[in-house]
Structure 1
Amino acid sequence: MSLKTRALAGVLAIAVPLVGYFEGRSLLAYLDPVGIPTICDGITKGVELGQTASVAECDALLAAELGAAITSVDRLIQRPQPDTRRAALGSFVFNVGAGAFSGSTLLRKLNAGDIAGACAELSRWVYAKGRKLAGLVKRRAAERQLCEVGL
């Protein structure tokens, strides 16, 4: 196993339980709070209502999608970050997408070295389609706490 693969595995070990807790798991596709077809642990890509998945399929989908989110975080951040911060940001990017992260004030602050300011930005991302969601408030608080470890 390469060093890069081991480093990703370590971050996934932190991020998977976080994402799983806030996303929940459904083996049957459903509409999320803003009407997006979703399955497993918050997977939306290519999902159609009525679709089903096994536990093993959900595990694989979560690992792949969260791994891609963490890879995006690593690609966009210009300074090395601890695994806890990478996991928090991976959870965030898994939820909002790499595109939103790439143009965010959060990323600009992080790359400028304002770690506390960057982590604080997470608390602003609690809206979906203009609606403040209690679940996102709780999730961002947990991500922020993980982001701030060591500050």
Structure 2
Amino acid sequence: MPARSRKSLAGVVGLACALLLAPFVSGWESGGKPRLDAYQDIVGVWTICDGETEGVKPGMRETLAGCAARNEAALIRHAEPVLACTPTLRGHPHQLAAAVSLAYNIGTGAYCRSTVDRRFDAGRWRAACDAFLMWNRASGKVVNGLVRRRQAERDLCLKDLPR
């Protein structure tokens, strides 16, 4: 289990975003019920809890409390780079939650090089939300689950858009 951080998700992204983000990601990654035994995801990466991959090995088992700590740490680990490369998202909980969810799924490096990030940076908020739909493939193939997740992230992103 990762070391406990003194940071909280709400402290990093704000309470409104944290209240949106944690259940949103959990719902996509594990159907809202953490998977306590390590498993391989659709591209073969060892995963546990709500999609956590860091340090996961075959045969690992986690507790609910351990999953909660892992998930908070993982969301913080993804939120900080998203805010660093797209600082305009601060104070926009729906767009930030959608962006962190995307980064959690595709990686922060891919997010920070993405059309989503570039469009947010350019102030093209609606176009940035639309760009979530581009990220619907795994191993080069369109995946129906990713199509649904990206649509949900886009819908979340479009809520209360800044003008």
Q: TM-score, normalised by structure 2?
A: 0.85
Residue 17 of structure 2 is matched in structure 1 by 11
CA deviation after TM superposition for structure 1 residue 6, in Å: 7.1
Residue 80 of structure 2 is matched in structure 1 by 71
Query: Percent identity over the alignment?
Result: 35
The structure 1 residue matched to 2:104, chosen from 70, 76, 94, is: 94
The number of residue pairs the alignment matches comes to: 150
Secondary structure in 2 aligned to 1:28?
Answer: strand
Structure 2: distance between partners of 1:48 and 1:66: 20
**What is the letter of the counterpart of residue 19 of structure 2?**
A
**What is the letter of the counterpart of residue 11 of structure 1?**
C
CA deviation after TM superposition for structure 1 residue 78, in Å: 3.8
Structure 1: distance between partners of 2:83 and 2:116: 14
Residue segments in structure 2 that go unaligned for 5+ positions in a row: 1-6
Secondary structure in 2 aligned to 1:50?
Answer: coil
Residue segments in structure 1 that go unaligned for 5+ positions in a row: none
Residue 115 of structure 1 is matched in structure 2 by 125
Secondary structure in 2 aligned to 1:53?
Answer: coil
Secondary structure in 2 aligned to 1:34?
Answer: coil
Q: Point out 4+ residue stretches in structure 1 off by more than 4 angstroms.
A: none
CA contact (8 A) 2:12 2:79 kept: no
Structure 1: distance between partners of 2:43 and 2:12: 36
Q: TM-score, normalised by structure 1?
A: 0.92
The structure 2 residue matched to 1:22, chosen from 14, 19, 28, is: 28
CA contact (8 A) 1:12 1:66 kept: no
**What is the letter of the counterpart of residue 97 of structure 1?**
G
Per-residue CA deviation, residues 33-56 of structure 1 (Å, 9 max, x unaligned), is 111111000011111111000000
Structure 2: distance between partners of 1:145 and 1:5: 25
Per-residue CA deviation, residues 62-103 of structure 1 (Å, 9 max, x unaligned), is 111112212222111142451111111111111111100111
CA 1:58–1:77 in 2, change beyond 3 Å: closer, same or farther?
Answer: same
1:13-52 matched pairs, under 5 angstroms: 13-24=19-30, 25-52=34-61
